[in-house]
Structure 1
Amino acid sequence: MPIDSKTTDNENIKQIICIKWGAKYGADYANKLYGMVSRNITPPFRFVCFTDDTTDVRSEIECQELPPLDITMPTNTMGKWPKSRLWGEKLGDLTGNVLFLDLDVIVVDSLDPFFEYGKPDDTVLSYNPSNPLERLGQTSCFRFQVGSLTSLQEKFKADPQGIADKYRFEQRFVTRNAPGGVKLFPKAWVAHFRRKCRQPFPLNYFKTPKIPKGASIIIFPGDLNPTDAISGRYHPNAADNIKDHLKKIKEPKNLKSPLRHLRHFILPVNWVEKYWKE
């Protein structure tokens, strides 16, 4: 069970935060994330959701207003720049160390080590396998001290579109500019679903994606999310069976890169449904 934040020192508890804005993710994502966290953490803990809509959010979740950030967000960029709201001097009523989780992650094992790794004042990101030649962090899961990233927010506020155009993704901006640099959690702890869980071609047509050894969190960057994985779709508009997927290879865009299309197929992933629940 979560603790009463009014009577407990934040330095002695584990604090998990998420952010929910707009209509892309409903309350069910926050509710399921809370459920997974509560089953995979040693109390006491707090779970805080910064959001602009508290409708149907379960009562155990502490909902707080989105941190203010009076800027125009960048357009035509792939990064999740609204996360910059978390970089300010203040973060609701939180102080100390916090672990941020994207709403669409799957928690499959204990989160305790994420609070024990490194020093308390370290900024620690997940390892990003998408650019193996670049030491790049991933912000789907990262830990930081409230207020320690204020300089990042100030740089971003000064030129939001310019920063987004230069760095493309907010995790690259954080990796390159966090005060004192960043550390990375051990590679095995956080697994990228598309790159570490799904089977390589042609095994993707015969074997389901797997949970890599040592993983505690599965992240879903890009268009493929947990609901797609459960139904066996590589993205929301993809086919959910082999026959229809193979038929789509005749489409002009897929004829240009047939191997890419063949690789982009997954079988339904039952273990995602097993873990991804309230």
Structure 2
Amino acid sequence: MLKKTATKNDDVKQIICIKWGTKYGAHYANKLYGMVSRNITPPFRFICFTDDPTDVRPEIECQELPPLDVTMPTNTLGKWPKSRLWGEKLGDVTGVVLFLDLDVVIVDSLDPFFEYGEPDDVILSYNPSNPLERLGQTSCFRFKVGSLVSLQEKFKSDPQGIADKYRFEQRFVTRNVPGGVKLFPKKWVAHFRRKCRQPFPLNYFKAPKIPKGARIIIFPGGLYPTNAINGQYTSKSADNALDHLKQIKDPKNLKHPLRHLRHFILPVGWVKENWKE
């Protein structure tokens, strides 16, 4: 059930993303904008904080990466450059924002993400990776600009130490937001590998599905929308069942044959239909 509306109907819904380095090209931001525009009730803003606005579509407001004078942690799994978004100021953006990772796939309306909770709430999506730990996921989360300053200050004091302790920035956010975080309903944001894939042996006969109630599909762990479209578990995986089965002869796969058999997906048409400009 939705809680008290966090934004008024006439407020501009603000979507933000961050793009740095070369891992994600402009087409990721462009496709994300396309999905947002098809799944939100206007008015809305879409802001991309980036170090390279080349080829980003004109509807997207490109702003410089927020300054953060620290050496980012190394040899860590977390996406710590997201800490740039935690400052007192965020370009010319104020108020409530919904952050989305560049590689998510939107399959239903985003409006409820702006209606859930109170404007001052920090709300993360549910992370299913550690079911015994109340852990949020920062692939999709909502906050008010300036509300996470204490997190940024703590991170700045010892970036590598914080990363070593918490490993993932989402765990750091979950544990350290003043007053605690809230979580969006579990079904709204679905983990592709955990919630969409078919179990073995159905994965060889049925394509991954959209879970009931899902609005956003996230792709952690090296499986990207392009892989799902091609029917690959990773970028190095076979894109057909016969070649995948042949790979079981590889010594590393022989050690864990069932895991290898489970790690196969058929091409996913609904990802291709939604992940476009």
* TM class by smaller structure: over 0.9
- What is the aligned partner in structure 2 of residue 156 from structure 1? 155
68-77 vs 58-67, which deviates more?
68-77
* Residue-by-residue CA offset, 1:125-179 (whole Å, 9 max, x unaligned): 0000111111000000000000000110111111111111111111000000011
SS of the residue aligned with 2:109?
A: coil
In the alignment, the residues of structure 2 paired with residue 178 and residue 255 of structure 1 have an alpha-carbon distance, to the nearest angstrom, of 44
Partner of 2:117: 118
Deviations 1:248-268 (A, max 9, x none): 111121112111111111000
Show CA shifts across 1:74-132 (max 9, x none).
Answer: 11111111100000111010111000000000011100000010111000000001111
Counterpart secondary structure, 1:98: strand
1:226-247 Cα distance to aligned partner (Å, 9 max, x none): 0000000001111101111111
Partner of 2:138: 139
In the alignment, which residue of structure 2 is the partner of 1:127?
Answer: 126
Map of 2:180 onto structure 1: 181
Residue identity opposite 1:121 in structure 2: D
Aligned-pair RMSD on alpha carbons? 1.0
Aligned residues: 269
Equivalent residue of 1:48, what SS? strand
Q: CA deviation at 1:201?
A: 1.0
The TM-score, its normalising length taken from structure 2, stands at: 0.96
1:60 corresponds to which residue? 59
Structure 1: runs of 5 or more not aligned: 1-8
Q: Which residue of 1 aligns with 2:81?
A: 82
1:1-278 alignment to 2 at 5 Å? 12-278=11-277
Quote the Cα distance in structure 2 between the aligned partners of 1:69 and 1:202. Answer: 48
Distance, in Å, in 2 between the alignment partners of 1:148 and 1:247 is 52
- Matches of 1:222 and 1:21, distance apart in 2: 19
Secondary structure at the aligned position of 1:12 is classed as coil
Moved over 6 A (4+): none
Once residues 151 and 177 of structure 1 are traced to their aligned partners in structure 2, the CA distance between those partners, rounded to angstroms, is 8
Q: CA–CA distance in 2 between the matches of 1:262 and 1:197?
A: 16
* Amino acid aligned to 2:247: K
Q: Aligned residue for 2:3?
A: none
User: How far apart in 1 are the matches of 2:156 and 2:250?
Assistant: 43
- In structure 1, distance between residues paired with 2:263 and 2:160: 32
Give the SS at the match of 2:18: strand
Measure, in 2, the Cα distance between the counterparts of 1:250 and 1:151: 52
Letter in structure 1 aligned against 2:203 = N
User: d(CA) in 1 for partners of 2:179 and 2:220?
Assistant: 26
CA–CA distance in structure 2, aligned partners of residues 152 and 199 of structure 1: 38
The residue identity in structure 1 corresponding to 2:189 is V
Structure 2 gap ranges (5+)? 1-7
TM-score (norm 1): 0.95
Name the amino acid aligned to 1:182: V
Structure 2 distance, partners of 1:243, 1:89, is: 54
Sequence identity (%) = 84
SS in structure 2 at match of 1:164? helix
Secondary structure of residue in 1 paired with 2:49: strand
The 2-side partners of 1:258 and 1:69 are apart by 46
d(CA) in 2 for partners of 1:154 and 1:173?
13
